Structure 1
Amino acid sequence: MSHDGPTTESDKRTLRRELLGVRNSLTADELAQAASSLAERALAMPELARAHSVAAYVSVGAEPGTFALLDALRARGVRVLLPALLPDNDLDWGVYTGEGSLTRVRHGGGRMALLEPAGERLGPDAVTGADVVLLPGLAVDERGMRLGRGGGSYDRVLARLERAGARPALLVLLYDVEVVAHVPEEPHDRPVDAVVTPSGVRRFR
């Protein structure tokens, strides 16, 4: 339960449902177009231009697509780390070396299938060496507060970065309509540095 009581959690659940409904109504063409615009916008950012190591993720379903971005970063010689979900919802990391380096893993008793790095696991602390961390999300508000999926994996990543004194740039890739006026927040929530949408980049700090 959240420290703010049940209302914050149920507000988040309601908002998640609404946003996922909009995402799931996007056509294959709209998804492909958004993914290519997102890669273009993100690659032009100074944070990514000077990054040696980027912790990213593989988009699933109607999530803003990350494949074009992952491949472009790799082509630039950037070390791209991708997450592997652990049984306790924490994240381990492996290096992305192209689509052939991914394997489909089923989680939650087979309910959810994720593409994860097939190679060597580097341990949950590997993320602390990244120059940029791309966080998945469903929305971000005017202050840079992010609404996640609700699994808590990235809350752990952010807590781990804080404990290690690591200050990578925190970026979220979203569709334009997912930049909203207000996201319900809990005490452990942390703002991101910027949001990338198909129409541009918005910075918060």
Structure 2
Amino acid sequence: MADVDQAKQAARERMWSLLEREHAVPPGVHGRIPSFFGAEDAAARLAKLPEWHDARVVKAVPDTPQEPVRARALREGKLVYMAVPKLAEDMPFYLLDPAELTVTPEEAAARRVAAQVGRKVDVDAMQPVDLIVCGSVAVNQRGVRLGKGAGYSDIEVALLQEAGLIGPGTTIVTTVHSLQVVDEDLPETAHDFSVDIIVTPEAVIRCGEPRRPRGLLWDDLPPEKIAAIPVLAARQKARR
């Protein structure tokens, strides 16, 4: 596992350096999901897909490059779930309901504003999710992706899988800069999920057979991470 983690981090570092060198992102991208130039165009391209058109409920990451996606979803009347930072609350998701917003969709899509106007909900109170939008540091054409290394997106997907809120009909998409799409194998582990669709400002790439963990892989979760995420601590206690 340590070797895989090191390989993942090396791939991230190469990508962050490439993006900065090619001026595809603002400075200071290391350690982050890249806020790539063209994120608005990628969101617009995503919105042309049938999977987007058919989606009524969207689960989106809170990262800045996916803010245009969240704003567009709210403008179009979709329910948006967004994770509480680091899943650090008993109710680990915000619900953004366009019918209940007291600010514009563009304002509500911003992470800090969403935390103020969104309603916190537990996994058990969520509706089934039609479309998941995630950020990536790098992704290949098979749909294997690397996040920034914290593992929260994997935990979110596993939680939704265990709760029966996602299934074969749920599409997972990532929006990225074209440079973030690599033509090479990327290291992955059993708890990683793959994406179905990659959307860049210029193109849509449909990936191969998706890979979804069946749920939380407890043996892969360090005790300190379980203790720091209330929903995991509660579920571990219930398992005993």
1:23 to 3, 8, 19: 19
CA contact (8 A) 1:176 1:197 kept: yes
Aligned partners of 2:201 and 2:53: how far apart in 1?
A: 18
Letter paired with 1:19: M
Aligned to 1:67: 67
Aligned to 1:110: none
> Sequence identity, in percent?
25
Q: How many residues align?
A: 184
Aligned partners of 1:178 and 1:103: how far apart in 2?
A: 23
Q: Give 1:174 shift.
A: 1.0
Aligned partners of 1:27 and 1:157: how far apart in 2?
A: 26
Structure 1 ranges of 4+ moved more than 6 A: none
Structure having the higher helix fraction is: 2
Larger of the two Rg values belongs to structure: 2
Q: Give 1:91 shift.
A: 4.3
Letter paired with 2:115: P
Unaligned runs of 5+ in 1: 105-114
Aligned to 2:94: 93
Unaligned runs of 5+ in 2: 27-34, 210-240
* 1:37-186 correspondence to structure 2 within 5 Å: 37-60=41-64, 65-85=65-85, 86-87=87-88, 91-95=92-96, 97=101, 98-101=105-108, 102=110, 104=112, 116-118=114-116, 119-125=118-124, 129-165=128-164, 166-167=166-167, 168-180=170-182, 181-186=184-189
Q: Give 1:58 shift.
A: 3.5
Root-mean-square deviation (CA), in Å? 2.5
CA contact (8 A) 1:82 1:117 kept: no
Q: Give 1:32 shift.
A: 7.7
Q: Give 1:176 shift.
A: 0.6
Letter paired with 1:117: A
CA contact (8 A) 1:16 1:138 kept: yes
Normalised TM-score (structure 1):
0.78
CA contact (8 A) 1:55 1:127 kept: no
CA contact (8 A) 1:55 1:80 kept: yes
